Amino acid sequence: MTDILGVIGHPINHSMSPVFQQAALDHLGINKIFEKWEVTPENLEGKIKSFRNNSFIASCVTLPHKQNVIPLIDDLTDSAKSIGAVNWIYKNNNKLVGDNTDSTGFIRALTEKYNFIPEDKTALVFGAGGASRAIIFGLIKSGVKKIILSNRNFDKADIVSKELSTNKVKIEPIIYTRDSLANYAPYSDIIINTTSLGMAGGPAPMKTPITSDLISSTTFGYDIVYSPLITPFIKEFEKSGAEYGTGLSMLLYQGVEGIEKALNIKAPINVMQKALDAL
Ligand code: ATR
């Protein structure tokens, strides 16, 4: 039986992971298949049970399962524990181990693709969900100086701030109004959108959490939304003459980190990037 890897999510049709992961496996001559598994919340427990079969190697985990898989697996890495979300499951000595590479994937995208070094920088983050927690965790690990956190629901921002602040980095939750943002956005080195605003097929595809009048041309913008590639948020950075990074880079690097750990290999990043570009 061929060993398998895959991705679970619902809906999963749009997932680009199988394409760029299979390209990596084929390029390296690794005889394994990377599949796409449509798994509804009701079927999650059964699917995770099937991961205990011998042919299973690893799986990517995407929405809406990133938190719900936690009680169904055996162990968590430190990052998955701190972030409270899993985006990869590996089989390790017959145990299912949950990891979070969204965090390291984001930082590698920033540093390797865009040459933005978070150390000693001030970051403004929009959103307080699982993606936000992974990004904040990564920024803190990379030596960021200060994090400002803005979310529509202030209480959620407050909770994330309390849970993820460290002795060195205090996260400051702020309310999600134009007046409040005006005090912080123009002075931030990087502004990151982790909300679903601007996402095609999402709740608000035409919206952006910030407009160009509050963006300095020296601030770097990053949107984790990658469909469309140029989101309303990114367009505001273009208008300000500021540099920016697009979310496909985080998708790529979380996958690079995951496949490297799952198979103990060096991922062919250029091959994976090319496969993504061709989509
Ligand atoms: P993920 O795990 O991908 O981060 P999530 O936990 O559902 O997804 O979080 C989505 C984020 O997008 C939240 O910060 C949410 O804000 P609320 O906490 O106030 O719900 C934000 N979001 C979604 N729709 C929004 C909208 N129309 N305006 C502002 N923020 C929105």
Q: Are residues 142 and 212 in the same domain?
A: yes
Straight-line distance from the first to the last Cα atom of the chain, in angstroms, rounded to the nearest whole number: 30
126: in domain: yes
Which protein residue has the closest C-alpha to ligand 1 atom 26? 197
Q: Under DSSP, is residue 88 helix (H, G, I), strand (E, B) or coil? A: strand
110: in domain: no
Q: Which ligand 1 atom lies nearest to the CA of residue 157?
A: 18
Which protein residue has the closest C-alpha to ligand 1 atom 8? 129
Q: Which ligand 1 atom lies nearest to the CA of residue 132?
A: 4
57: in domain: yes
139: in domain: yes
pLDDT digit string (tens) for 154-195? 999 999 999 999 999 999 999 999 999 999 999 999 999 999
Q: Are residues 149 and 235 in the same domain?
A: yes
Q: Are residues 56 and 95 in the same domain?
A: yes
CA–centroid distance, 150 to ligand 1, in Å, is 11
CATH code, 170: 3.40.50.720
**In the prediction, which pLDDT does 14 show?**
87
Q: Which amino acid is at 81?
A: K
Q: Are residues 90 and 144 in the same domain?
A: no
* Angle subtended at Cα 86 by Cα 170 and Cα 16, rounded to the nearest 5 degrees: 115
Q: Are residues 54 and 167 in the same domain?
A: no
Residue 195 lies in domain: 115-242
pLDDT digit string (tens) for 185-243? 999 999 999 999 999 988 899 999 999 999 999 999 999 999 999 999 999 999 999 99
Q: Which parts of the chain are beta strand (E)? A: 3-9, 32-38, 56-61, 75-76, 88-92, 95-99, 122-126, 146-150, 171-174, 190-193, 220-223, 244-245
Q: Which ligand 1 atom lies nearest to the CA of residue 127?
A: 14
Whether residue 2 is predicted with pLDDT greater than 90 in this model: the reply is no
**Arithmetic mean of pLDDT, 261-267:** 97
Q: Are strands 244-245 and 220-223 parallel, antiparallel or unpaired?
A: parallel
Contact 246, 234 (CB under 8 A): yes
What residues are in contact with ligand 1 under a 6 Å CB criterion? 127-132, 151-153, 156, 194-197, 203-204
Whether residue 1 is predicted with pLDDT greater than 90 in this model: the reply is no
Q: Are residues 126 and 207 in the same domain?
A: yes
109: in domain: no
CA–centroid distance, 132 to ligand 1, in Å, is 9
Tokens of 5: 């890897």
What is the total count of domains within the chain?
2
Q: Are residues 237 and 120 in the same domain?
A: yes
Contact 246, 109 (CB under 8 A): no
pLDDT digit string (tens) for 108-146? 999 999 999 999 999 999 999 999 999 999 999 999 999
Which protein residue has the closest C-alpha to ligand 1 atom 14? 127
Q: How many whole angstroms separate alpha carbon 212 and alpha carbon 242? A: 9
> What SS3 string covers 113-159?
HCCCCCCCCEEEEECCCHHHHHHHHHHHHCCCCEEEEECCCHHHHHH
Q: How many whole angstroms separate alpha carbon 143 and alpha carbon 209? A: 25
CATH code, 78: 3.40.50.10860
Q: Are residues 167 and 223 in the same domain?
A: yes
266: in domain: yes
Contact 211, 185 (CB under 8 A): no
Q: How many whole angstroms separate alpha carbon 206 and alpha carbon 197? A: 7
For residue 170, what is the DSSP state? Answer: -
Q: Are residues 125 and 238 in the same domain?
A: yes
Q: How many whole angstroms separate alpha carbon 1 and alpha carbon 32? A: 10
Q: Which ligand 1 atom lies nearest to the CA of residue 194?
A: 4
Percent of the chain with pLDDT over 90: 96
Q: Are residues 74 and 186 in the same domain?
A: no
CA–centroid distance, 194 to ligand 1, in Å, is 8
User: Positive or negative CA dihedral for 111, 116, 117, 123?
Assistant: negative
Contact 162, 131 (CB under 8 A): no
pLDDT digit string (tens) for 6-42? 999 999 998 999 999 999 999 999 999 999 999 999 9
Q: Are residues 215 and 120 in the same domain?
A: yes
Q: Are residues 9 and 31 in the same domain?
A: yes
107: in domain: no
147: in domain: yes
Mutate to test the pocket of ligand 1, among 196, 210, 224 (most ligand atoms within 8 A of CB): 196
Contact 31, 2 (CB under 8 A): yes
Tokens of 188: 């931030």
